[in-house]
Amino acid sequence: MKNSFGTSVRTTVFGESHGPFIGAVIDGLSPGMVIDDSFIRHQLSLRRPSGSFSTSRVESDEFQIVSGVFNGRSTGTPLCILIPNTAHRSADYDKLSSVARPGHADYAAQCKYHGYQDYRGGGHFSGRITAALVAAGAVVIPSLKEKGILIGTHVRSCAGIQDICFSSDEPVLRKQLACLGDKVFATLDDDAACGMKAAIEKASTEGDSVGGVLETAISGLPSGLGEPWFDTIEGLLSHALFSIPAIKGVQFGSGFDMVDGRGSAFNDSFAMEDGKVVTLTNNNGGINGGITNGMPVVFRCAVKPTPSISKTQKTVDFKELADTEISVGGRHDPAIIHRARVVVDSVVALVLYDVLVGRFGSDFFAGN
Amino acid sequence: MKNSFGTSVRTTVFGESHGPFIGAVIDGLSPGMVIDDSFIRHQLSLRRPSGSFSTSRVESDEFQIVSGVFNGRSTGTPLCILIPNTAHRSADYDKLSSVARPGHADYAAQCKYHGYQDYRGGGHFSGRITAALVAAGAVVIPSLKEKGILIGTHVRSCAGIQDICFSSDEPVLRKQLACLGDKVFATLDDDAACGMKAAIEKASTEGDSVGGVLETAISGLPSGLGEPWFDTIEGLLSHALFSIPAIKGVQFGSGFDMVDGRGSAFNDSFAMEDGKVVTLTNNNGGINGGITNGMPVVFRCAVKPTPSISKTQKTVDFKELADTEISVGGRHDPAIIHRARVVVDSVVALVLYDVLVGRFGSDFFAGN
Amino acid sequence: MKNSFGTSVRTTVFGESHGPFIGAVIDGLSPGMVIDDSFIRHQLSLRRPSGSFSTSRVESDEFQIVSGVFNGRSTGTPLCILIPNTAHRSADYDKLSSVARPGHADYAAQCKYHGYQDYRGGGHFSGRITAALVAAGAVVIPSLKEKGILIGTHVRSCAGIQDICFSSDEPVLRKQLACLGDKVFATLDDDAACGMKAAIEKASTEGDSVGGVLETAISGLPSGLGEPWFDTIEGLLSHALFSIPAIKGVQFGSGFDMVDGRGSAFNDSFAMEDGKVVTLTNNNGGINGGITNGMPVVFRCAVKPTPSISKTQKTVDFKELADTEISVGGRHDPAIIHRARVVVDSVVALVLYDVLVGRFGSDFFAGN
Amino acid sequence: MKNSFGTSVRTTVFGESHGPFIGAVIDGLSPGMVIDDSFIRHQLSLRRPSGSFSTSRVESDEFQIVSGVFNGRSTGTPLCILIPNTAHRSADYDKLSSVARPGHADYAAQCKYHGYQDYRGGGHFSGRITAALVAAGAVVIPSLKEKGILIGTHVRSCAGIQDICFSSDEPVLRKQLACLGDKVFATLDDDAACGMKAAIEKASTEGDSVGGVLETAISGLPSGLGEPWFDTIEGLLSHALFSIPAIKGVQFGSGFDMVDGRGSAFNDSFAMEDGKVVTLTNNNGGINGGITNGMPVVFRCAVKPTPSISKTQKTVDFKELADTEISVGGRHDPAIIHRARVVVDSVVALVLYDVLVGRFGSDFFAGN
C-alpha cells in the first residue's frame, strides 16, 4: 500500500521537505466529528522544535483543511490537510546532493529513485513529513478521547537518563496520560527532563547527538480488537511506528526483558476485579494472541541517536563512487526523541481509529 | 486485511488446531517456479517438535498442494497448500473451554468472538497454524535463493545462554546462513545449543518454560527496496513477525542497544569497497529511511517464555466470571524458540517475495 | 488484489478444473452465524448442469468446510471450503494444450503465464471455479436474509426469448425473489423457460451455443451504502461480476435504455410513501451517486453465447504460431446463462456482506 | 478502499464542489517520468465547459503539483495535485440543502452522512471532482504513450444521433485515437458532432437534458494483463468507470449486442497475421477470461441524461419528510457526455498504469 496505511480508514502522506506543501489525506472518517483546529495547532506545537536542544529551523506550521470538513465537523468524505513549508533554506543542502549522510536515507533513496528524488532536506524522507502525521492524528484523537481512550507517550530514557515508568494502576495511569498532553519535553518526572535536556545540550556542543526510549500507554481500549494473524495489534502498530524516522525497535509489554525469564514469572495471571477480568501483571502489554485483552496497551520504541551531526564522518559520493568526508551543516536536532513522542501518539491514534471503525462500523465516531 | 498480508503477493492462512486441515493460499506467485516438495517437507521437519525439549504431540505434517502447481512448477494462479491435522487429542482441552490460560489468547478470543471460537488447542491462535506459514515460505525460499538471497535465523540466546553473533563479513555470513538450513536446534556455536537444551529440559522438569532471542540475517537483497512511509522494510517485516506466537519485540540492527549512545558512534559510515558502496558498520541493520541500502538486513526478535506451563497459576473462568486456578495439561513445549526460527525465515521469505515482485514485476521469479 | 476481493471481508478463490480441489477462503465473517450445509448443497445443485441443455459432465459437488466453523456456526476466523473435482476426463483436453479455443482464455493465459498454466479444462479460468463462489455465497446468503435482504436473478432473455420483468412493486418483487430460489431454470414466467430450453437444445443440435441477459434485484438493502468514488455500489458489484465467465456487460437500472432519452423522462422523482422516502420510478436502479437510496438495486448482465461449440472454427496453434482449425469436443454447455444466475447471486451476496460489515462493523451478522 | 483505487499505484481523490481545493494523490509512480504541465492544462481544458451546450460556470482550473515532482520529473514519491475552486456561487445551492434533486445523490448522501455532508453544489459527489481525475490521468497518459499505448474516447451517440464506430483496422484506429486528443466535442465524424450539439441546445432551451454512449478504445496494450478472477481487466476498468457521474452501464466488445446471437457468430477466431496472433473479429473487446489478448480493448459506457434540469420535478424535502417540487436553478449542463469523455480516458489511464506497474515493476515507466 506504499505511503498509506489502514484498511477501513486510510491515511496517506505526501510532500517533500522543501516543496511548497506537505500534507495528509484521511479517507474513511465517520461523519459529524468535531474538528478542533486549536487542538491540531496545539499538537503541531508539541512537535515543533524549541529551546537550545532543537534545530533552529522553526516552521509556523500553519495548516489548512481543504476538504472533508463542513461547519466545523467531518463530512465523512476524504479529509485533506495541507501544511505549507515556509522556512526552508535549500542552499544548505545543495552540496549534499550526492554525498550520503551516514545514518540517513540519501544513499538508499538514490538506489530506489535512481537520482530523481528531491534530495533537498531529505525530501520525502524528511522528519518534516511527520508534521502531516501529527495534524492527521490530531483530527482523530479528540474522538478517541470521547470514547474514553487515552494515548500518551513519555521519554522513558534519553542519553542514558531514566524517567520513571507508567503506573500499573489504571486510574493513576490515566492521570499520567492526561498530564503528558501539555508537556513540551514529556517525562513523568520533571527532574528527569531537566537532566535529559542538559545531556542533549552537552552532546550538541560536542557536535554530536543522542537517542533514547519512548514508552507509550493506551488506556480505555475495548478488549477483543485485532486479528490473530498479521493484523495483530502489535503488527498494525509496529507497521506504522517503524516509519517514524529513527525508530529501530518496538517491543510490547516487557518485550526483550522477558527473554531470559520463565513462563511462571511472565505469564500474566487473570483475576476478577470489580466484576471485570483483569491481569495481575501486564507483561504482555495488554495484548494476547494479537488481540487486546482489556488491560492498558503498553509498548516501547527504541529511538536511535539523530543521524545529523556536525562531527566529521567518513562517507561516499554516490555519483562519483568515491570516498569522501562530511560534516552535516544546516540546522539539525541533537535529539528528536522529545519531538517524536507526539508523532508516536498520532500514528497510534490513526491505527486505533482504523481498527475501531473496522470493528464497530463507519459510524462509530459519528456525531462525536 | 485481517488474516492475510502482502500487496503484490498475498498470503492467507486458515485453520484451527483441531480442525481437519490447516493451510495457506498464496496469490500472485510468478509462473514457472520449481516447487520442491522435498524442501517443503524438510522445512516442516525443522518446525516439528523433537527431543525431550519439545511437546510430545508430533504431527507427520503431510501436505498437499491442491492448486497453482502443474507439472512441478507454479502456474501463477493461487497456490493452496493443505496440511491435515492428525494427532489432536481434543479431550485434553475440553475443560479449558472457559478457563483462560495465562499468557494465552483464550480470554482475548472470547472478547473478540463472543464464545463462538473453536477453543480446542487454541483454535486459530494455535502455534500449529505456523506449519502452514512454513509450508508457504518453503514454496518461495528456493526462488529467493536462485536470486542470491539467503535468509537465516539462529537462537541468539535462550534461557540466558548466549550464542555467538552473525559475522559482519558478508562471505562468512553467507556460509553461516547456508549452514543453519539443516540444524534442528539452530545456533552458530554448537556448544551453545547444548547448553540451551539442558536449560530447557531443566525448566521442563520444573513445570516451567523459557524464552530467548532470535537473530535473523538476510544477505543478497537488492538495495532500494521498501517505501519511505508505512511500507518500510522494518514495518513490513515487523507487521508479519508479530503474528508469530510469543514474539513480543522486534529490533533492527543495533536496535535498543543504540538508545544510550551517540550519533557519532552508531551512524554507519559509508565507504567504497570493490567499486560498491558499503557501510563500515551495520547498526541500521541494512535499512535507512525504511529502504534497503545493500548491506545485510539484520534484526532480532524477543521470544517470551512459552505460556503453557504445568505449574499452577491463578486465572479466571470467563464464563462464570470467577477466580480459579489452572495447571495446563496436554502436551506442551517448554520452549518454542528453536521451532520458531524456521517460522521467522518463512514469514521473512514471504514478505520479501512480495516486495521483490512489487519492485520488479510479477514475472520476476518466472521460470526460476 | 488479484484473485480475491473485499475490504472488510475478503473472498479468495483457488483451484483448477482438473486439479484435486477447488475452493474458497472467506476472511472476516462475523462469528456465530449459522452455517447451513443443506443450503450450500442446494445452491450448488442450482449451478450443476442438468437436462439436455447442459454439459454431461456432472460433478457431485461434495464440499467440506475445513476451517472457521465450530459446532455449526462461524467462528469469525477464515472459513475455507473445499470442493473435490471428481469427474474430470483430462484426455478430452490434451490436444488443446496449444490450440486456442476462440472466445476462451487459452491464448490470453499463454501470454500471461508463459506456458506454465494448467491448460486442462481451462485450468483456473474454468467455469468450474464458480462452484467455489457459489459455496462461498451460500455461506453468507442466509445471514443477509436474516437482515431482510433478498437477492434474486432470473434469465431475462435467452436466445432472443424474453421473460417478464421484475415487478416495480416491492412486496410483489420480494415474492418473485423468494420464488426464484428453487428454480433450476429461473424465469419469472415458466413459459419463457420452456421456450428458452427449446432454443438451447436447437442450438446444441446445431453444434452451436446461445447467450442472454440476466436481471438481478436486491430488496431490503439499507440506504446509504457505498462510496462516492471508486467503491460505488455499481463499481463494487461490476468489479466482481465481470469475473463470472461470459459476462461482458453490466448495467444498472435502465442503463443503456436511457441513452437516447431525456432527464425529465429518466430522473427518478422522489415521493413520501408511508413515511418513507421512495422514488416513483427506478431508472437509477436504487443507486444515486454510487450510494444506495433505499429502492431495490436492479441491474442486468450481458451473457455472451458460450464459446465452446462443436462447429469447426478457425484458430491458431500458439506454440507453432500457425493457423489451424478446431472443433471443441469434450462435454460442453450450449448455454450457461441458467447456471450462471446462482453465481451472480453468490457474488452479489459476498459483495454486499463486505459492504455491510464495513458499514456496521464486524459483529453485524454475529449470532445471526 | 473507499475513495481510492489501485493496487501497485493508488489514486485518491478529495475535495468538495465549494471547498477551497479539490485534488488527487497518486502514490506509486515510477521515478523520472516527465511531468508535462501544458498537457495537464490541455486535458483540463477538454473537461471544461464551453459553448452554449454547457454550464456557464467556468473554472480556470489552475492547478499546482505540490509534491512528488522535482526538476520537471516525477520523484517516485506521492504526487499531490491541487486545483483551487474559484467560481462557486454557493447562494445558488442554499435552498437545496434538504430538497433532493431527482437523479442526484443528495438524498443518498443524507442517508450515508446523516446530514453532515457539504451539500453545496453536490459536495464530494460533484462532477467538479472529475477535474482532479483528469489532472491525475494527465500525469500518466504521456508515459503510456511512450510505451505505445493510446487511449481515446468518442461520443458514439448523443440524444439519439450516432457517430461512426472505431475502425477495426488497427493502424486506422491509432490515427483516429490520435485525432481525438484535441477535439472539444469528440466525434469521429464532425457532422455527427454538429447534430449532437444542436440536439443538446434544443433540450437545453426546453429545460431538459440528454445522455448518450461513449466508446473507448485502447491500442498498444501488451497481451497477458489482468487476473482471471476479480481483478479482470473488465472488472478493474468498470470498478473505476462507474464512479464517473452519470455512467450507468459498461460493456466490453459487443456486450449486450451478443445476447441474442450464437457462439459461432460471436467467438473471435484467431489467425496469424505478420507473425502475430490476432483475432479476425473483436467481439470480446480485446479481453478473454479477464486477460488482454493483444487486440484493442474496446468498450462502451452508457451515460444517462444529466439529472440537473430546470423543468419542475416532484421530489421530497428529506428533513421535513414532505413532498415538494423542484426546478434546479444554478448553472447546469444540458449534457455532460462530451466533457465526460476525457474523464473516461483519464480513469482508464490510471487503471492501466497500475496494472502495468503491477506486471512489469515499479520502474516500468522510470525515466520515461
Rg of chain C's alpha carbons, rounded to an integer?
A: 21
Share of chain D above pLDDT 70, in %: 94
**Chains contacting B (3+ CB pairs below 8 angstroms):** A, C, D
Q: How many distinct structural domains can be found in chain C?
A: 1
Query: Do residues B253 and B299 touch, judged by C-beta distance below 8 A?
Result: yes
| Nearest-neighbour CA in chain D from C293: distance (Å) | 5
The predicted-structure confidence for A319-336, as pLDDT tens digits, reads as follows 999 999 999 876 678 999
Q: State the pLDDT at residue C333.
A: 87
Helix intervals (H) in C50-166: 106-113, 130-146
Contact status of A156 with chain B (Cβ, < 8 Å): no
Query: Do residues C292 and D108 touch, judged by C-beta distance below 8 A?
Result: yes
Q: What share of chain C is helix, strand, coil (3-state, %, to 5)?
A: 35, 25, 45
Range of the domain at D24: 4-363
Q: Is residue B52 pLDDT above 80, yes or no?
A: no
| Residue contact D289–C109, C-beta within 8 A | yes
Distance CA D342, CA D346 (A): 6
The grid cell for B223 is 538495495
Instruction: State the DSSP string of B258-323.
Output: GTTSBHHHHS--EEEETTEEEESS-TTTTEETTEE-SSPEEEEEEEPPPS--SS-EEEEETTTTEE
- pLDDT mean across residues, chain A: 94
Q: What share of chain B is helix, strand, coil (3-state, %, to 5)?
A: 35, 25, 45
List all residues of chain D from 8 to 67 with a beta carbon under 8 Å from chain C: 13
| Nearest-neighbour CA in chain D from A262: distance (Å) | 44
ipTM of the complex in this document: 0.96
| Residue contact A362–C359, C-beta within 8 A | yes
Nearest to C357 by CA among D67, A280, A362: A362
**Amino acid, res. C141:** I
Confidence bin at A23 (pLDDT 50/70/90): very high
Residues of B in contact with C27 (CB under 8 A): 2-4, 12, 14
Contact status of D73 with chain A (Cβ, < 8 Å): yes
The predicted-structure confidence for B70-126, as pLDDT tens digits, reads as follows 999 999 999 999 999 986 655 555 555 899 999 999 999 999 999 999 999 899 999
Residues of D in contact with A64 (CB under 8 A): 20
Phi, psi (rounded to 5 degrees) for B260: -95, 0
Distance CA A252, CA A259 (A): 13
Residues of B in contact with C16 (CB under 8 A): 67-68, 70, 75, 77
Q: Which of D77, D228, D360 has the CB atom closest to B361's CB atom?
A: D360
| Residue contact B283–A269, C-beta within 8 A | no
| Residue contact D103–C284, C-beta within 8 A | yes
**Amino acid, res. B222:** P
Between B and C, how many residue pairs show a Cβ–Cβ distance under 8 A?
174
A302: three-class secondary structure by DSSP: strand
Q: Is residue D273 situated within a structural domain?
A: yes
Q: Is residue C69 pLDDT above 80, yes or no?
A: yes
Q: What average pLDDT does this structure show over A26-54? A: 90
The grid cell for A344 is 508516536
Q: Which of A77, A358, A363 has the CB atom closest to C362's CB atom?
A: A358
Give Cβ neighbours of residue B154 (< 8 Å, ≥ 6 apart). Answer: B163, B166, B176, B180, B186, B187, B188, B214, B215, B341
Q: Is residue C246 situated within a structural domain?
A: yes
| Residue contact B4–C10, C-beta within 8 A | yes
The predicted-structure confidence for C316-331, as pLDDT tens digits, reads as follows 999 999 999 999 876 6
- Name the β-bridge partners of C153: C216
The predicted-structure confidence for D312-346, as pLDDT tens digits, reads as follows 999 999 999 999 999 987 667 899 999 999 999 99
Q: State the pLDDT at residue D332.
A: 77
Nearest to C157 by CA among C201, C211, C212, C215: C212
Q: Is residue A172 situated within a structural domain?
A: yes
Q: In this structure, what DSSP letter does residue A290 have?
A: T
- In the numeric block, the cell 460442453 is attached to C332
Distance CA A151, CA A221 (A): 10
| Residue contact B359–D362, C-beta within 8 A | yes
List all residues of chain C from 251 to 280 with a beta carbon under 8 Å from chain D: 251-256, 258-272, 275, 277, 279-280
Q: Is residue A59 pLDDT above 90, yes or no?
A: no
Q: Is residue D368 situated within a structural domain?
A: no
Q: State the pLDDT at residue C147.
A: 98
Q: State the pLDDT at residue D256.
A: 98
The predicted-structure confidence for D58-72, as pLDDT tens digits, reads as follows 667 799 999 999 999
Confidence bin at C89 (pLDDT 50/70/90): low
Q: State the pLDDT at residue D33.
A: 98
Query: Do residues A223 and A294 touch, judged by C-beta distance below 8 A?
Result: yes
Residues of C in contact with B123 (CB under 8 A): 70, 75, 77
| Residue contact A67–D21, C-beta within 8 A | yes
Q: Which of A7, A77, A361 has the CB atom closest to C361's CB atom?
A: A361
Q: State the pLDDT at residue A368.
A: 75
Distance CA A198, CA B60 (A): 61
The grid cell for D272 is 496469424
| Residue contact A64–D20, C-beta within 8 A | yes
Residues of A in contact with D82 (CB under 8 A): 21, 66, 82
Beta strand pairing status for A4-5 and C322-326? unpaired
The predicted-structure confidence for C130-159, as pLDDT tens digits, reads as follows 999 999 999 999 999 999 999 999 999 999
**Half-sphere exposure at residue C187, Cβ-oriented, CA atoms within 13 angstroms:** 21
Q: Is residue C368 situated within a structural domain?
A: no
A108, closest residue in chain B (CA to CA): B293
Distance CA A237, CA A347 (A): 8
- pLDDT mean across residues, chain C: 94
Q: Mutate which of D33, D69, D70 to disrupt the A interface (most A C-beta within 10 Å)?
A: D70
The predicted-structure confidence for C303-312, as pLDDT tens digits, reads as follows 999 999 999 9
| Nearest-neighbour CA in chain C from D71: distance (Å) | 32
* Predicted model pTM: 0.97
The predicted-structure confidence for C243-301, as pLDDT tens digits, reads as follows 999 999 999 999 999 999 999 999 999 999 999 999 999 999 999 999 999 999 999 99
Residues of D in contact with C252 (CB under 8 A): 242, 248-249
**Amino acid, res. D323:** D
Contact status of B194 with chain A (Cβ, < 8 Å): no
pLDDT top residue among B32 and C90: B32
Q: State how far Cα D268 lies from the chain centre.
A: 28
Q: In this structure, what DSSP letter does residue C166 have?
A: P
Phi, psi (rounded to 5 degrees) for B363: -100, 10
Share of chain C above pLDDT 70, in %: 94
- C49-88 burial string, b = 16+ CB within 10 Å, else e? beeebbbebebebebebbbbbbeebbbbbbbbbbbbbeeb
**Chains contacting C (3+ CB pairs below 8 angstroms):** A, B, D
| Residue contact A248–B251, C-beta within 8 A | yes
**Which of A208-222, B290-304, D45-59 is the least confident region?**
D45-59
Q: Which of D239, D252, D289 has the CB atom closest to C108's CB atom?
A: D289
Confidence bin at C315 (pLDDT 50/70/90): very high
**Chains contacting D (3+ CB pairs below 8 angstroms):** A, B, C
For A37, other C-beta atoms within 10 Å of its C-beta total 13
Q: State the pLDDT at residue C2.
A: 80
Query: Do residues D334 and D200 touch, judged by C-beta distance below 8 A?
Result: yes
* Residues shown for chain D: 368
The predicted-structure confidence for A147-186, as pLDDT tens digits, reads as follows 999 999 999 999 999 999 999 999 999 999 999 988 999 9
- pLDDT mean across residues, chain B: 94
| Residue contact D251–C251, C-beta within 8 A | yes
The grid cell for D263 is 457462439
The grid cell for C214 is 440476466
Contact status of B195 with chain A (Cβ, < 8 Å): no
The CATH number for B304's domain is: 3.60.150.10
List all residues of chain C from 74 to 113 with a beta carbon under 8 Å from chain A: 77
Q: Is residue B368 situated within a structural domain?
A: no
Distance CA D223, CA C49 (A): 33
Q: Is residue D345 situated within a structural domain?
A: yes
- In the numeric block, the cell 553467507 is attached to B174
Q: Is residue C93 pLDDT above 60, yes or no?
A: no
Q: State the pLDDT at residue C92.
A: 53
Q: State the pLDDT at residue C342.
A: 98
The predicted-structure confidence for A288-306, as pLDDT tens digits, reads as follows 999 999 999 999 999 999 9
Confidence bin at C1 (pLDDT 50/70/90): low
| Residue contact C358–A77, C-beta within 8 A | no
Nearest to A216 by CA among A307, A337, A111: A337
The grid cell for A306 is 539523530
- Low-confidence spans in chain D with pLDDT less than 70: 1, 50-59, 87-96, 330-331
**Amino acid, res. C160:** G
Distance CA C57, CA C50 (A): 9
